[in-house]
A and B are shown apart, each in its own frame.
Chain A
Amino acid sequence: MSIYDSVILDYYHHPLHKRVIDAPDVTCHVANQSCGDELTVMMRIVRGVVTDCAYQGHLCAVSTASASLLSEKVIGMRVAEVCELDMDIVHELLDVELTPVRLKCALLPLEAIQKSARSFHRVESES
């Protein structure tokens, strides 16, 4: 089955959470130089819980779908829980077989979300 017959194309055409958060508590930019995917993740965090997560950027269909589903997933999660997510969550959410190259695309939003969460976690621990 083509990955483009799955939810991937739906989210590519109708992405979730592809918007701007005004005055986010954390923001993080990542890029995959080899393909040009890049995104900036923004989060609002209240008492250690992610209350909002959004992103902006130029992304392929796979990374758009991943960013959409991951943003939806982490809203309501504790920051510490977000930091502990691994690539299994991406496989679970996308539910398609990806080649190694496209898996990199799918993992980019997870990298951005976790970098944001970790930077917040670090600031909280230091204060």
Chain B
Amino acid sequence: MRDVFPALIHDPNLVYFDSASTTLKPQSVVDAMNDYYKVYGVNVHRGQYSQALLTTKKFEDARSRIAAFIHAHSEREVIFTKNATEALNMAASMLFNRNARSIAISPLNHHSHYLPWTQGAKNHGGAIHYLKCDEHGDIHYDEHSLEAMGRVDSVALTYVSNVTGRVQPIGKIVESIRKLYPDTIICVDATQAMAHLPVDVASLGCDMLAFSGHKMYGPTGIGVLWVRQDLLSKLEPVYFGGGMVADLRDGHAIWSDTPYAFEAGTPPIAEAIALHSACDFIDSCGYDAIRASDEHAFETLATIVKSVDPTVHILGEGSPNPSVGILSWYSQKYHPHDMAELLGEKNIAVRAGHHCAIPLHTQMAVPSTVRASVSCVQNATDFSAFEQAYNAAYTKLCPSTIQSF
């Protein structure tokens, strides 16, 4: 599998355990990006010459592919953005502009799915309810918890935590919310889910869903906001400019049809075409194989990390929910930055810090963690290299005479 990733051919010694930050890109995705610039190269939805029509078709085929990938009812529900952060900010802004004033979020939410709601509530005089998580970081969605939440205008849910890596039972959570509050709008951040499990907006039952291309083997610079058609038809755009207005006279604007009304300016054309390839790549891997690999990866990494330090706290360990192969851990014996830097010196790529998830770290009472996160690029050699480097780093940071930092 390594030989389909140009970055790993360029650096064959790289042991890449930072996929939750960004996935490496397979050659097919790189080729698709390059093909746009080398073969097509023109704008979409504007020209009437053959190259423009061909490029527009390629771009809209990408939209259809992505719609099918997430089982959307229609490609008209798929809005291209520059990333999940923009998609989630757009979702929040549109709902606040439509008078949403009570929002529920959870500490599991990445800052990009936390701040748009809290800042929006602050700016519009709204209220935030904080859903609770258990000791594994899994969301409480029992009737008692949802009754405590009360009826809110919107709920912002995380499908997979970028810290614990645990898949939340979104379908069941949505069903439970709908039973009590049928008109609450539910927005899901699926950024960490897309590369690891099939995402089906129809079965999930949510109203909005967002993700980034670069975390599912696609390029940077593209994200998707999916919005159920009957909701989308009631929303007003929040970005304005070319391509999203059908008529503009005497200062009065009539917006274009969905989804174009929500895509102001020239869209990320090369990126959308490349994201189409990323969907094809994931299908070629197969989600069953991906899931098996993720769970094996989590168990292997957890075993390695705990073998020299059984006291290490692995966030989310013990959760009954499946893992997508993200392992974030905290040790009393060393600082995450030191461990990450020593691993980095051996070409092992991990991340240290709070991973844009301060609320979850606060709830778990750890200041920061080291995070190793997998994708389909790992092999047995990578895990051996990690084990060797981790043990050496641990010995350097924690010689037997030193007990804690």
Residues of B within 8 A of A36 (CB): 335-336, 354, 366-368
User: Is residue B326 contacting chain A, with contact meaning CB distance below 8 A?
Assistant: no
User: Is residue B205 contacting chain A, with contact meaning CB distance below 8 A?
Assistant: no
Residues of B within 8 A of A37 (CB): 335, 337
User: Is residue B358 contacting chain A, with contact meaning CB distance below 8 A?
Assistant: yes
If A33-B358, A34-B354, A35-B368 touch, whether A4 touches B396 (CB-CB below 8 Å) is: yes
Question: CB distance A62 to B358 under 8 Å?
Answer: no
Residues of B within 8 A of A64 (CB): 405
A61 to B340, CA, bound (A): 12
Residues of B within 8 A of A13 (CB): 399, 402
A36 to B338, CA, bound (A): 12
Residues of A within 8 A of B399 (CB): 13
The one of A2, A9, A35, A38 that contacts B337, using a Cβ cutoff of 8 Å: A35
**Whole-angstrom distance between the Cβ of B397 and the nearest chain A Cβ:** 7
Closest to B346 in A: A2
**Whole-angstrom distance between the Cβ of B313 and the nearest chain A Cβ:** 13
A34 to B397, CA, bound (A): 21
User: Is residue A55 contacting chain B, with contact meaning CB distance below 8 A?
Assistant: no
Which of A4, A33, A60 counts the most chain B CB atoms within 10 A?
A60
Residues of B within 8 A of A123 (CB): none
Q: Could you tell me which residues of chain B, from 329 to 349, have a CB within 8 Å of some CB in chain A?
A: 335-338, 341-342, 345
Binary contact track A77-119/B, C-beta < 8 Å → 1, others 0: 0000000000000000000000001100100000000000000
User: Is residue A120 contacting chain B, with contact meaning CB distance below 8 A?
Assistant: no
**Whole-angstrom distance between the Cβ of A84 and the nearest chain B Cβ:** 29
If A13-B399, A58-B405, A61-B397 touch, whether A34 touches B341 (CB-CB below 8 Å) is: no
Residues of B within 8 A of A34 (CB): 353-354, 368
Question: CB distance A59 to B335 under 8 Å?
Answer: yes
Residues of A within 8 A of B15 (CB): none
A59 to B336, CA, bound (A): 10
Binary contact track A38-65/B, C-beta < 8 Å → 1, others 0: 1000000000000000000011111010
Closest to A64 in B: B405
Question: CB distance A9 to B396 under 8 Å?
Answer: yes
Residues of A within 8 A of B342 (CB): 2, 4
If A13-B402, A37-B335, A59-B405 touch, whether A3 touches B341 (CB-CB below 8 Å) is: yes
Q: Could you tell me which residues of chain B, from 147 to 167, have a CB within 8 Å of some CB in chain A?
A: none
User: Is residue B173 contacting chain A, with contact meaning CB distance below 8 A?
Assistant: no
A105 to B337, CA, bound (A): 9
User: Is residue B352 contacting chain A, with contact meaning CB distance below 8 A?
Assistant: yes
Given contacts A4-B341, A34-B368, A61-B397, 18 further A-B contacts (CB under 8 A): A4-B338, A4-B342, A12-B405, A33-B354, A33-B358, A35-B353, A35-B367, A37-B337, A58-B335, A59-B335, A60-B405, A61-B335, A62-B337, A62-B338, A64-B405, A101-B337, A102-B341, A105-B337
Interface set of A (CB-CB < 8 Å, partner B): 2-4, 9, 12-13, 33-38, 58-62, 64, 101-102, 105
10 shortest A-B CB distances, which residue pairs? Answer: A36-B367, A60-B335, A36-B368, A60-B337, A61-B338, A35-B368, A60-B338, A2-B345, A13-B402, A35-B337
